[in-house]
Amino acid sequence: MNTILKTPRGLVAALVMAGVIGGAGAGLVTTHLASAQQSPAPAVATAVSAPSGAPGAATLPSFAQITSQYGPAVVNISVSGTRHASASTDDDADDDTPAAAQRQQPGMDPNDPFYQFFRQFGIPGGGGMQQRQMPRDVPVRGEGSGFIVSADGLVLTNAHVVKDAETVTVKLTDRREFKAKVLGADPKTDVAVLKIDAKDLPTVKLGDTQSINVGDWVLAIGSPFGFENSVTAGVVSAKGRSLPDDSSVPFIQTDVAVNPGNSGGPLFNARGEVVGINSQIYSRSGGYQGLSFAIPIEVASKVQSQIVKTGKVEHAKLGVTVQEVNQTLADSFGLDRPEGALVSSVEKGGPADKAGLKSGDVIRSVNGQKIIGSGDLPAMVSLATPGSKVDMQVWRQGKPEDIVATLGNASDKAVKVAGADDKVAPGKLGVALRALQPEERKQLGADGGMLIERAQGPAAKAGIQAGDVLLSINGTPARDVDQVREAIAKAGKSVALLVQRDGSRIFVPVQLG
């Protein structure tokens, strides 16, 4: 199973994006359902009352009609292929597990009684002595889900499901199997479009995320652990959720049970319309723990349209690095609440630079849509069309300003969101500064600022280090010591320091004692 590990101060969690059954490299697959034109009338979940004698009897929906009507459009996807890897017979004293030994000594079963005997003499197949690495092809096999969006054989699934696949097989509920062609896959949104040679196939009806609210019932159909057409239900936990993997997708969060093999499958609302594609789970163990994430169907439909039309997907870019606005930063910039995307750096010559965006601006809305968290911005920008114009309202120097930018083409570069691990804890201010020498300025690539020679007490607690370059205080450029002192004196209870370290820039919120 492929996982993305995140360890924010003691918490160990994993964004599970691939459930492997029988091999490495294949992703979780959840069935995709689409094609509003050719789908029958939407089913409606019927209410089923709990027995009157049950304590706190409640009315629960029945998804039997939805499952019966649209279940046949949910497919099982199996993939196979090879992945190029290097096989080594190096002796590893720190990793002596059977699995590790088998990985290092492919020529002999580690359970063989003569395994250790040969290994100590360095005989090939028994390990022991460092030998030349040999490239080899590792089989890749996996199983997942997908759903049919057109009667002539278009199928939606996750991009990670078909990654590294040489052969993709789609199996219907009537046991028919078809070899599928991957028309295209977009890793940024994790959406892939397949095509099978068939006609008059069952399809699903597409809905939209505007039709669901937090607390609404939703239904998932897929192939968890290879159990085809398994049905699970739950409620919508959140909408527009950003994940800490630099994703450009505003996920639907649910508590629907999603496990390896579910990925790529459809998420239905109570009217039988597909509102999302099950994609990821957030877990400590790699299994379902009540946090599942689905790609909004609007995102998937847009990707599908581009792939079918051109065979590729283009994403827009603004050319900024943004970070979250917490309460301390909001106080420093004079915001009424901690919302928006704080611009920590602007790409030179990029769309934002040409539009006049500056470091220290807080982007509060794009085309009239509010930016609550910094993760909202990459989703809005990346899914726009390159070359399109966006109207942004930004907060600059204590007042709002309107800026219009023409988006560029991402070309495999997405808007970067500074994660929680990039931010430091708030604290007081205490630094020793000196002007940058011309050679230092050139080496650091800094247009201005002052070198922090020493950080002690409050500054050190905030994470400021010797060698950092202080660029601005609350948006005011740091040109000399007197100017820095003046900016600190005018500040309220906190200040926002823009610091450059190792070529990266980030705002550090500091509370003044």
Both 193 and 142 in one domain: the answer is: yes
Contact 275, 253 (CB under 8 A): no
Strands 469-473 and 494-501 come out as: antiparallel
**Which among 142, 272, 293, 135 is positioned nearest to 206, based on CA atoms?**
272
CATH number at residue 344: 2.30.42.10
The two tokens of residue 335 are 């915001």
Q: Which residues of 18-38 are buried (b: 16+ CB within 10 A; e: fewer)?
A: bbbbebbbbbbbbbbbbbeeb
Both 502 and 361 in one domain: the answer is: no
CATH number at residue 2: 2.40.10.120
Both 184 and 42 in one domain: the answer is: yes
Both 138 and 161 in one domain: the answer is: yes
Both 72 and 161 in one domain: the answer is: yes
* Element of type H or E holding 193: strand 191-195
What residue type is assigned to position 483 of the chain? Q
Q: Report the C-alpha gap between 302 and 383 in whole angstroms.
A: 8
| DSSP letters for 61-82 | EE-HHHHHHHGGGEEEEEEEEE
Both 225 and 82 in one domain: the answer is: yes
Both 150 and 81 in one domain: the answer is: yes
Report the catalytic residues: 160, 190, 263
Both 71 and 176 in one domain: the answer is: yes
Both 401 and 436 in one domain: the answer is: no
| Annotated binding-site residue? 263 | yes
Both 24 and 170 in one domain: the answer is: yes
What residue type is assigned to position 159 of the chain? A
Count up the domains in the chain and report the number: 4
- Domain boundary (274, 297, 313) is at 313
Global pTM value: 0.64
- Domain boundary (370, 401, 420) is at 420
Tens-level pLDDT at each residue, the chain (513 residues): 333 333 333 333 444 443 333 333 333 333 333 333 344 444 456 554 444 444 444 566 789 999 999 999 999 999 988 766 544 333 333 333 333 333 333 444 555 544 444 444 444 444 433 444 555 677 778 889 999 999 999 999 999 999 888 999 999 999 999 999 999 999 989 999 999 999 999 999 999 998 899 999 999 999 988 888 899 999 999 998 877 665 678 899 999 999 888 999 999 999 999 999 999 887 776 667 788 999 999 999 999 999 999 988 988 989 888 888 999 899 989 999 999 999 988 888 889 999 999 989 999 999 999 998 888 888 888 888 899 999 999 999 899 999 999 999 886 343 444 443 333 233 346 777 888 777 777 777 777 788 887 777 667 677 788 888 888 888 888 888 777 877 777 777 778 888 888 778 888 877 765
The pLDDT of residue 256 is: 94
- 429: which residues sit within 8 A by CB, 6+ positions away? 458, 459, 462, 488, 495, 497, 510, 512
The pLDDT of residue 442 is: 74
The pLDDT of residue 117 is: 44
Half-sphere exposure of 256 (CA within 13 A, CB side): 36
| Annotated binding-site residue? 160 | yes
Domain containing 196 equals: 1-50+58-88+133-313
- Domain boundary (132, 148, 166) is at 132
Both 20 and 32 in one domain: the answer is: yes
User: Residue 184 gets which letter from DSSP?
Assistant: E
Q: Report the C-alpha gap between 386 and 302 in whole angstroms.
A: 14
- 117: which residues sit within 8 A by CB, 6+ positions away? 126
Both 321 and 398 in one domain: the answer is: yes
The two tokens of residue 414 are 């997405």
